[in-house]
Every structure is written in structure tokens, then in C-alpha cells.
Structure 1
Amino acid sequence: MKKLLISSLVLAGLALGLTACSQQSSSTSSTASSAISTSSTSSSQAKGNYTVTEQELTFESNGNRIYGRALLPDTDEAVPTVILSHGFGGNHEQEETLQEDLAASGIAVYSFDFSGGTGYEPGQSEGDMTDMSVLTEEQNLKDALSMIQTQDFADKNQIYLMGASQGGVVTTLVAEEEQDQIAGVFLLYPAFSLFDDARDRFASESDIPDTYNLMGLTVGSRYFTDIYNMDIYDHMTYSGPVHIFHGDADNLVNISYSERAAQTFPNATLTTVSGGTHGFATSDQELIAPTIASEILGD
């Protein structure tokens, strides 16, 4: 399978030009934390026992055809399933190595292109970027979840959400609304700073233009108006297990945003990826895959 090649421009796009200012936690919720690095002596690759089949799965959302791809372990049994949401400007191939390792471990992985959410990497879904916002992507993910719940390969009691960068924000919002439908959440360098970024760019909502060049891609006004008055930490109510992975070398979304999130979710773990940037390298993906697979499979 083709590996995702992340250029410096893609990394900048995934970051959305987000502010990297530090945030202090105001919550007293308990949280577990750990660190992981490529020098760790624990297993560095998922020990896959399954061959993997790729299957195209599309669905409709907000009047648009949404393209998606499932990586399926070859088994006749229903298996735990992860729905992956990509970041701003990315596509369904984001974190490709992680997807492949999880599938080889016996976990189905479904990833899709957000409507209007791709750009730096080619996308196959309908929709214009000027119509896209976190809230339109929230509806896309909810519709993806509904579709996956009808698939024979998916264990309906073990459906997990995983989101990278902006996809982590979208995942957080859907997890709040679909609490009973989700077995757990995984967040990869989530872009919780994009709300501060919107307010830093524009002094008031009235200052938001009809279109705006955001890191080389053109978004519409709703991209900012939909989130301008939102506090994402108010939406971190999902009570199931949440595992956040964030690199300590991410200079685009400061890890402090994830540190605060880990204190805000009722049941969260934060793993610091030593040397990890915004967009995990192949080695980092290989490193975290066994942890995620173990938590899902109970190994």
C-alpha cells in the first residue's frame, strides 16, 4: 500500500497556523501520563498476524458523496473497528503506517476524506473547502459512524474513534454526542489550539471575511464563525477511555493544549511522544501502534 508522504507544506496545513501558546490546566480531574520514544526497549512494531484487504466504502453526508477506505483483517468474525479522521488539508491516507499496523493486528480501520477538508493531499469526496468547517466535518464523522454500524465486519460494541490534528477536534465533538456508541477515543496531536487561532486572527466575528487564505488553502467565513465563540474544553465530556498522543517537539500545536485536555476529559491518558512533531513520523507510528492495539484488543 502507498505510504503517506507528508511534505513540509502538508505539515503546515495540518497545523492551520495554530497558535502555540501555553495553556494552564484548571481542572482537578485525575489523569495518567507517560512518555514514549524511538529509543524505548519495548516492542516497536505491531505484531500483526493478519493479512489485510482494502475495501472502498462511500456514504452520503450533507448532500455530498464521501469517499472512504476500510483496511480489513482477513477473518470471518466481526472485529473491533477504528474510524480515523484526518487533519486539515490531509486525506484518508494520513498515518498510513499506523492504519496498516492496526489492521494487521486484527482491527478494522476505516478512514475517509472529509467533504471540502482535503487540499494538500488529494481527496476523493465531494464538497468545496469554502463550505467546510469543524461542524460540517462533525456531521461527516457522525454519518461515517452510522454507516460503519451497519457493516458486517464491525463489532458494534467495539467501535473506536481516532482523530489527528483538526480531526482530533472533530472526534472530540462527536464523542460527546455519541457517548453510548463509542468504546474509546484516540487523539493524535489534536489541534485544540485552532479556537485561539481564530480569535487571534480576527478581533471580532464581524472582521471575518467571506473567504480567507489559510496556509495556502482557501476557506470560507464559516470555518471561523462556526468556532469563534466555542470553548472546546466544554465539550470534553466523553466518559469512556481517551488516549492522547502528542509530540514534545510539536511547535505548531503546543503540547500544553493536550495536557489541559488530559485533565479535562473524565478518563484520559496522555502519552508524550519524545521528539514527535505535528504529523507523526513512520517510526513514531510504529511505536504507538502496539499500545493502541493492546488497549483495543485487551492484550
Structure 2
Amino acid sequence: MTMQNKLAWPKKITVCEVGPRDGLQNEKVLLTVEQKIELIERSVQAGAKIIEIGSFVHPKAVPQMADTDEVVKKMKRVDGVEYRALVMNLRGLERAEAVGIKKAKLTVSASPTHSLKNLNKTPEEAVRGFAECAKYAAAHGIELSGAISTAFGCCFEGRVPLEQVISVVKCFKEIGVSELSLSDTTGMANPQQVYEYSVKVREQFTDIDWVLHFHNTRGMGLSNVMAGMLAGIERYDSCFAGLGGCPFAPGASGNIATEDLVHMLSEMGIDTGYDLAEGIAIGRRVREFIGHDTDSSVLRAGRCSDIVIEQ
């Protein structure tokens, strides 16, 4: 490779901590309100500028998130930090607004089969069904973002075509959503595919802010981040200790670990604004709370800078 073809890495990446929602929603151990608040507040102290604090969904569907209202009421908020929550319908958005949440995320599967099995709607029907939420959000000063799950692959259909993803993007634009994440819910994405999809959506939808969300089911999570960065995307979801998985996606495992992502970027000289040592401490604390090991390489092996070979 010549110097003229040197890879153009970004100087800074924004890490979106999704642990309090996507990390904990699949755990058998139900954390207390106080434990969740500790993880949220420590993540902010570590440098998280965007944090997904929970979801406002029916407690019977996701009991791990049943106390999100109480968490929001009791947690300390820091200026300059975006506290967002997942909602699935107008009722959830109303609950979020009642406790002062100003950023809500809507999620729809790109896979028609996955969407029909879970919602009995096509992806396009599901997004257009959020029109009432969009109207409510506009009237109450709430910003909406969208997540397109199974954007790269589906356990029922295999690889999801880019054309299908673009169809869902267009529907989100119709209801006024201008921030979207492409989510590898089932961990089926590969770097070549991520690069291709990311380049094409950025070219076609220049007015949308893009986020990438990877699961490490098959060990390609950080490789996919590399591909996304080369395609020009600079915001990534990650989860403390590598927790997570989708309860509605068979075989899905944890998200990429925040400490693994921050460590890799730090080694590359890419700024995240994160205190890696504190991120590692949070990951260890999470393991104490849930009572089992998780898929985090840095928690297992330590930082590269920790290695000292005696001569």
C-alpha cells in the first residue's frame, strides 16, 4: 500500500452506551433501581455522552425494564449528556415524556419475516404505524431516532438485501426521523457487507445521521466497526461488559463490549472521550451484579498497556 492510499481513519468516534437497556434486557437477574442508576451514572462519569437508560415497554414483555420510570426519576442528569430510551408505541412515548425523557428511539426490523412474526406487520407498515408517535413527539419537544434491526441478516431469511433496508429508511424519513442506526441484531454482518451498506446509505441519504450497532455473535463485531469507520460512520452503540442479545432473535448474543471498543480505538489513536480504566471497572461491576462472566476480551486479558515482559 502506498502512502497515497493510506487508510483514512476518523480522529474521533462517539460511543453510545446501550448497556442499561440492551445489555440488561436479556439478563435473568433483575437489577435493582439503585444498581441500574449506579451503572448509568458511572458510565456518564467515564465519558458517555449518549446513554440508553432503558425502555418503556409492557412489563410482561420485558420485565427487566419494568422499573425504567423509577430509574429516570431518581438518577442524576448531567448537562450535555443525551439520555435516550426505547419506546414501541404511543403509550411508551407518553410514559417517557412524563418523566422528562427528551430522546426516544423507535425500532423496526428490516426483515419482513422477523417483523411479521413479532408484530404481525411488514417493516414498512410498522414504521408508518409510528406516525402518531412522531406527531406526539413534535408537539412535546421530543427528538426521535430510529433503529433498523436485522439490517444485515435475519435468522429466518439469511442476508437482508440492501434494497429492503433502504425501503425501511424511506419510511422513517416519511415520518420525520433523521437519525437511524443499522443494527446487526443477529450478529450475521461481515466487514465487506457493512462497508458496502454504510457507503451506499450515506450517499443516498445525506441528511440522516447514521449509527451502527453490532453484536459479537460470531466474533466480527469490532471488525465491522473498522469497516463502518472506513465508510465514514462515526457513532457506534456498545454495551458495558459485552452484555446483551435480543430476546426475540434466536441465537443472538451480546453487543460489542464498550471497554473492548474504547480499548481498540485508544490503541489506534482515535479519541472517544472515554476513561478506559473506569470503563473496565464498570464492566467488572456489571459482572458482580449479574453473577456470571461475559464476552469481553479486555475484562479477560487486560489492556495492551498492562502487559510488561520482564527481561
Shorter-chain TM-score: which interval? 0.3 to 0.5
What TM-score do the two structures reach when normalised by structure 2? 0.36
Which structure: larger Rg? 2
Q: If each structure's strand is expressed as a fraction of its own residues, which one has the higher value? A: 1
Q: If each structure's helix is expressed as a fraction of its own residues, which one has the higher value? A: 2
| Larger RCO of the pair (alpha carbons < 8 Å, separation 6+) | 1
